[in-house]
Amino acid sequence: MKKIFLVLLILGIGFVNAHAQRFAYVDTEYILDMLPEYRSALKQLEALTADWEKEIEKRQAAIDKMYKDLAAEQVLLTDEMKKKREQEIRDKEKELKDYRNQKFGYEGELFKKRQELIKPIQDKVFEAVQKIAKQGALDFIFAKGGEMIMLYSNAKYDKSDEVLAELGVAVTKNKENQQKKDK
């Protein structure tokens, strides 16, 4: 009985090894950080965001001033004048809200600009990952970072530097130093 069990166990292990799937992972944050065009795109997005936020602050300050002016002059104004001023303030608040949505809302200018600048870079990385997977006869490549959580990863399965090489990026940083910096 023990001999039959042992033979079945050995055959089972052999079968599992014969159909083993090959896995690897890439650190997408590391790859993107190493791409000069990605860093450039982020700087462009940050500059746009800063400009739009300044404009929002400027508009908000104007609305705040309108409120203060109304409060200071309220006793001198007729009901009709007060209503007119309150309507002007509501109109300015609506304009500000519309401006925010136009710039930062779902499918606003920031969303569209991010798609324009970042998506081609992500597509390029995805194509490089696919090429590395085919060259290495890998069945799966996981993305380390983003939503994927990896509790442990053996660095020998990290294909991030190979993806960077495929993208034509010379790896000048020491990845271990990058990981220490991130902690």
CA distance 180 to 183: 5
Backbone angles phi, psi at 141, to 5 degrees: -130, 125
Give the start-to-end residue ranges of the domains of the chain: 19-182
Residue 63: φ, ψ to 5°: -65, -45
Find the distance separating the first CA and the last CA of the chain, reported in whole Å: 53
- Residue 174 has what pLDDT? 52
Tens digit of pLDDT at every position of the chain (183 positions):
444 433 333 444 444 444 567 788 888 888 899 999 999 999 999 999 999 999 999 999 999 999 999 999 988 989 999 999 999 999 999 999 999 999 999 889 999 999 999 999 999 988 898 888 888 888 888 887 666 655 455 677 788 888 888 888 887 655 554 554 444
Residue 107 in contact with residue 116, Cβ under 8 Å?
Answer: no
pLDDT of residue 71: 92
Indicate the helix (H) or strand (E) that contains 144: strand 140-144
Token couple for 99: 């401006």
What was the pLDDT predicted at 53?
Answer: 97
Give me 89's structure tokens: 């303030």
Q: Are 133 and 24 in contact (CB under 8 A)?
A: yes
Question: Could you give the 3-state DSSP secondary structure of residue 10?
Answer: helix
CB-CB neighbours of 88 under 10 Å: 13
Size of the chain, expressed as the number of residues it contains: 183
Which pair of structure tokens corresponds to residue 179? 């990981």
